[in-house]
Structure 1
Amino acid sequence: MIGLSPAEWSALKLTLWLALSTTGLLLLLCIPLAGWLALGRSRVRAMVEVLVALPLVLPPTVLGFYLLLLLGPRGPVGQAAAALGLGPLVFSFKGLLIGSMLYSLPFAVQPLLDGFRSMRRELLDTAASLGAGPIERFFRVVLPLSRPAVLSAALLSFAHTLGEFGVVLMIGGNIAGETRVMSIAIYDAVEAFDFAEAHRLSAWLLGLAMVCLLAIQTLRRRQQARDGGTDQ
């Protein structure tokens, strides 16, 4: 890979795979979750929203510490995984994936919530009058019309996962080829006073983050233009 050594390329591949895996799994989880939060009527929705948003204000090391206790060999989740033959969760890619999903959860849920809640109610009422049930209305009306929100959630989750440090360091450590992602590689390079390597790795992450943010801005401008045309 241009500008990267084999070890640096390994860290980049692992980071991209972690970001893609986290994004895909979060979309599968968060689309129905955001739909329930936006359109459901349960009294516990407010508390669930608070729990979902908690990683936004919680220090990453705090989240990583409690995950370490839960996923470790003496933790309930770690013991259950061992009993099922899934192997250790801490200091493994599986542990990184769990931590990344929890830490990036609000970045996936919030754009979806905004998109679902902006849905015009008369569209849902019309679908209901034609005999569509709640699930059918969601998948045939809400979800197709919320495509920009889904794309924004995917891009934000991907971009946020690229820069994770505290959580992945706490539960993944620094194992080359297994848990050594780009952010940890940058930290190692700075500690070793290898600023040339730190610059190379940082430039790659900066470029990827800028591409994601430019894509999000483009989606928002198109959505605003579409909404403006609809209002007229």
Structure 2
Amino acid sequence: MLTEFFGASTLEAILLTLKLAFITSGLLLLFALPLAWFLANWQSKAKPLVMSILALPLVLPPTVLGFYLLIAFSPQSALGQGWQSLTGSNLAFSFEGLVLGSVIYSLPFALQPLYSGFSQLDNRYLDVAKTLGFSAFEAFIKIVLPLSKAPIVVALGLSFAHTIGEFGVVLMIGGNIPGETQVLSIALYEQVEALEYSSAHNLALALLIFSFVMLAALYRFNGVTRSDEAR
């Protein structure tokens, strides 16, 4: 049924995009959790500068970021050469390159909710944990994470949804290779270029519905969680 509605090539792009989104959001959560906790407790004059650098993808045109990532991933760069020596393949125009680029591009969407949630956490919980003999790591795992359920879910949902909708960055560093780097946004662009408006409409409508449902679910979850905490 899905093949009839979208077409075989589009269905392949859907599966590739979902794979990219799951991997990217999972990696981002692992990376952003300790980073957000460190930033929330870090006091330094350099903090605004560091926060600005990490938040750049929020305002930087995706093609600009994609251009510099393409240079960084090229076989002539140290990163590209290192990757090629380890794997025997190029980092640019590969699925692995898409994953790395997506992690960088979607980082603020995972980092900001976590940083905001950690910054608002009542430090009295941590003070009690210290008196009970908890190490910093134990307090983070057993106290901070359970109390930060809402920011974690929002960070995971936003990074997943943002990866689904990526275009500029993935086009620059991945190109349009079916089954390898052709994600949904690229497939939609290709359909419009080919004047296949019926197929483009089906895909665009599916993305619109997905985006709306995802955001509605996140707002609903966040609102319910805040109501429970207020009781």
Partner amino acid, structure 2, of 1:51: I
How far apart are the structure 2 equivalents of 1:9 and 1:54?
32
CA shift for structure 1 position 43: 5.1
1:208 equivalent to 2:188? Answer no
CA shift for structure 1 position 86: 5.0
Quote the residue 2:134 is aligned against. Answer: 132
Using the TM superposition, name which of 81-90 and 9-18 deviates more.
81-90
Quote the residue 1:85 is aligned against. Answer: 87
CA shift for structure 1 position 44: 4.0
CA shift for structure 1 position 215: 1.4
Quote the residue 2:149 is aligned against. Answer: 147
How far apart are the structure 2 equivalents of 1:119 and 1:138?
12
1:76 equivalent to 2:50? Answer no
How far apart are the structure 2 equivalents of 1:187 and 1:167?
14
Using the TM superposition, name which of 11-20 and 79-88 deviates more.
79-88
Quote the residue 1:48 is aligned against. Answer: 50
Aligned Cα root-mean-square deviation (Å) = 1.3
Residue among 87, 99, 102 paired with 1:100: 102
Partner amino acid, structure 2, of 1:29: F
Q: Per-residue displacement from partner, 1:2-24 (whole Å, max 9, x unpaired)?
A: 21211110011011111111000
How far apart are the structure 2 equivalents of 1:128 and 1:107?
31
Counterparts of 1:1-232 in structure 2 under 5 Å? 1-2=1-2, 3-41=5-43, 44-229=46-231
State the percentage of identical aligned residues: 48
How far apart are the structure 2 equivalents of 1:142 and 1:175?
42
Q: Per-residue displacement from partner, 1:36-61 (whole Å, max 9, x unpaired)?
A: 11123455433321111010011100
How far apart are the structure 2 equivalents of 1:77 and 1:205?
34
How far apart are the structure 1 equivalents of 2:45 and 2:143?
25
Q: Per-residue displacement from partner, 1:47-86 (whole Å, max 9, x unpaired)?
A: 3211110100111000000000000111121011112225
Which segments of 5 or more consecutive residues in structure 1 lack a partner in the other structure? none
Which segments of 5 or more consecutive residues in structure 2 lack a partner in the other structure? none
For normalisation by structure 1, the TM-score amounts to 0.94
Q: Per-residue displacement from partner, 1:144-175 (whole Å, max 9, x unpaired)?
A: 11011111100000111111000000000000
How far apart are the structure 2 equivalents of 1:142 and 1:52?
23
Query: Per the alignment, in what secondary structure is the counterpart of residue 6 of structure 2?
Result: coil
Q: Per-residue displacement from partner, 1:182-201 (whole Å, max 9, x unpaired)?
A: 10111111111111011111
How far apart are the structure 1 equivalents of 2:153 and 2:198?
35
Query: Per the alignment, in what secondary structure is the counterpart of residue 87 of structure 2?
Result: coil
For normalisation by structure 2, the TM-score amounts to 0.95
Aligned residues: 229
